[in-house]
Amino acid sequence: MSSQLPEFVDLMRLTETGQALKGRVAVANMPRLATALGLSDAGQDAESGLPGEVEADLVFGVDVQGVRNVRGRLHAELHALCQRCLQSMPLTLRVDIALGMARTLEVTEHLSDEYEPLIVPLVNGQWQLQPLASIIEDELLLALPVAPMHAEQCLPWVMPGAATSHALPGTQAETVAADLPPEGKKTPLCGAGAVTAVEKEAVILI
């Protein structure tokens, strides 16, 4: 089992010595990511209560051009809210990273295309300790889908043969069922002629 990653890192020392870090960081330490996933302030899925964690395998170094960099892979098993049914869903992210460090935004313009910029400003001429979780969080936020949704159809009330009682609670399910015509009954569709209930369900799926 991998250990927890340090909260703060000395990027100067890590890159000069070619250090590698491998371990875990909790989503609870990534408030922006937790918000984007629809999680609670404690970094837990609101329904399942499962905390999310990120596995990181990072290597620090200096390339032949003198650019300090960090390369590696992130693997996150998370939970998010499906934007179709608004229920909890698992979300797996695998992200390869290659970050080139620069002191200012202007310097990033000279970075090779192989790198994404990581701005690490000097304070009084010194490199400061950097929050590792924040660096990882930025990369995961960029990798998040715009609207996470279940891979399988998660709206059973529009699927042929699905039981509407499992789709919506209480009167909502009854309302949806009431809107569907009885089996075999003809229903006009936009003036294009009559279709059967089965055909209507197929049109809804399209």
**145-165 confidence digits (pLDDT tens):** 887 777 776 755 444 444 433
Owner of token pair 């960090």:
70
Q: Which pLDDT score, from 0 to 100, does residue 51 have?
A: 57
DSSP state of 158: G
Q: Considering the entire predicted model, what is its pTM? A: 0.67
The average confidence (pLDDT) of the chain is 74
Q: Which amino acid is at 197?
A: A
Beta-bridged to residue 195, according to DSSP, are 187
Are 29 and 43 spatial neighbours (Cβ–Cβ below 8 Å)?
yes
Q: Which amino acid is at 92?
A: T
Dmax over Cα atoms in the chain, in whole Å? Answer: 79
Are 54 and 76 spatial neighbours (Cβ–Cβ below 8 Å)?
yes
| Region class of 7: left (phi > 0), else alpha (psi between -120 and 50), else beta | alpha
- Hey, what long-range contacts does 39-45 have (CB within 8 A, 24 or more apart)? 39/79, 45/79, 45/88
**62-115 confidence digits (pLDDT tens):** 999 999 999 999 999 888 888 778 777 888 899 999 999 988 888 788 888 899
pLDDT grade for 140, boundaries at 50, 70 and 90: very high
Higher pLDDT, 132 or 158: 132
**173-194 confidence digits (pLDDT tens):** 333 334 444 554 444 444 444 4
Q: What share of the chain has pLDDT > 90, as a percent?
A: 34
C-alpha 100/C-alpha 117 separation (Å) is 5
DSSP state of 146: S
Q: Can you tell me whether residue 51 is helix, strand or coil?
A: strand
Instruction: Return all residues near 13 (Cβ < 8 A) that are at least 6 apart.
Output: 19
Across 143-154, b (16+ Cβ under 10 Å) vs e yields ebeeebeeeeee
Q: Which tokens hold the place of 192?
A: 């294009």
